[in-house]
Structure formats: C-alpha cells, structure tokens
Structure 1
C-alpha cells in the first residue's frame, strides 16, 4: 500500500500543486484547506496517515496549532512544514524538530523532503 499523505494549505493553487506532485510519485494524497479539516481527517481516518505536509499561516486552526493537536494523538507522525522564505529570518513559532521547505520551492525539493521524512 502506498504511503498516505495529508496535505494542508489554504491556498488552492499551492495545495493542488503539492497534491499533484506527490500523487504523481505514487503516494495516496488527501488534500484539505485548513487545520480544522486536517485534524478531522487525521482523527477520522480509517487508515492512518504516514506524513502530514502543512502550511503554518491559515485561518482558524493554524499549522502550529494543528501540529500541537496532532502530536497529542499521533506523537510519532512525521510532519513537514511549508512556509514563505520571508519568515525564515523571523522564525515561525514551530517546534525545532519540524523540518521546513520554504516557498518558492521546486517539485524536486518537495519530493526529496517527503522521501527523506518517510524513510525515517
């Protein structure tokens, strides 16, 4: 069975790009628009996710809040953070063990990061 990845981004074009890039690699992808939908998907999944790829700055439940909530129920679930390069200097308020891919990123960079995270 292909690894299952939950993609969370409030920007429809970015969400679609990430989902397509990962689907093309053979991953099973579920893409949602916000943290609340992601939390619902993770908690309600019949088959667990192997990775979450999330943006941080979203309305409602943001990425940092999503990560904190997910870690309560799934402490070993890997999470890859997507953020704007402009925030690299000021920090994003996330735990230091959360790897980040900065926008703009290439599809190859995203795929490599996902492969590394799934490999452990």
Structure 2
C-alpha cells in the first residue's frame, strides 16, 4: 500500500483524464471534489452512498479508473464498498477518505489492498498532487 500524500508533495498537471467515482454522504465534499478534479480535466461522478456507487459499477466494473470513498457513510460503509468492489474484481485505483480509523479497520483496508488512505480533511492541493501520480 502506498503511503498518504503529504503537504510537501508538489502539484503537477495530470498525466491523463481519469474517470472518477466518489461516494460520500456529505454533499459539500462531493461538490468540492467535482470542482477540484474537474478543473484538472478529470471526469467526476459523485453519489451520496455506497449502494449507489455499486449500482453504477455492477454493469461495468471498468467504467471508472478511480473510486474514492468516505469511510463513514450510512447504509454501506466505505469498508463494505471496498470489499464488494474487490469481490466484483474491480481493478481500478481505490482511495479512502476518513476522519479516523481504528487499527482494525485500517488493517481491513490494507487487506483489500486499497491504494491510498487519506485522513480528512483532504486538502485540494494534496488531492491534485496525488492524482498527478496516478
């Protein structure tokens, strides 16, 4: 697993436009991420919960290059979403946002081989720098 991007990471132009699916129950955060990544040329679709993310991915697990999920969400948590993505053989990148994770939950995300776990708040400059490396 890769380590989180730190504030020392430099920002760079994206290498290519990525198709991103973002699941978070906070509308304001979804809108912010759409703007930040959209300005860099990425195509972002956001949904308020993990069930809706799964609905979008079931017909074609290759429809998105990156799935970003919040950990704490109603109905389907980020961990449940990641487990179901792995069960459907999703091969894209997975990024988890969380304000706190226990050691046990962190270990489960690592078991499912998520690419990055970023602590909230996630700053736009850090996210843009991370996406420049994908």
- Bucket of the pairwise TM-score, normalised by the shorter protein: 0.7 to 0.9
Separation in structure 2 between the aligned mates of residue 111 and residue 77 of structure 1, nearest angstrom: 18
Greater displacement, 66-75 / 22-31: 66-75
Q: Per-residue deviation at 1:72? A: 1.4
Which ranges in structure 2 are unaligned for 5 or more consecutive residues?
1-15
- Aligned with 1:23 (options 29, 34, 38): 38
In 1, are the aligned partners of 2:61 and 2:90 still within 8 Å (CA)?
no
- Aligned with 1:49 (options 55, 64, 67): 64
Write the deviation string for residues 51-79 of structure 1: whole angstroms up to 9, x where unpaired. 00110110001110000101112342210
Separation in structure 1 between the aligned mates of residue 89 and residue 132 of structure 2, nearest angstrom: 20
Q: 1:92 to 1:104 in 2, by over 3 A?
A: farther
Q: Per-residue deviation at 1:105? A: 2.2
Which ranges in structure 1 are unaligned for 5 or more consecutive residues?
none
Separation in structure 1 between the aligned mates of residue 104 and residue 95 of structure 2, nearest angstrom: 13
Match of residue 92 from structure 2: 77
- Higher helix proportion: 1
TM-score using structure 2 length: 0.76
TM-score using structure 1 length: 0.84
1:95 aligns with 2:109: yes
The Cα RMSD (Å) is: 2.0
Max radius of gyration: which structure?
2
Equivalent residue pairs, number: 114
- Aligned with 1:62 (options 52, 77, 80): 77
- Aligned with 1:13 (options 14, 17, 28): 28
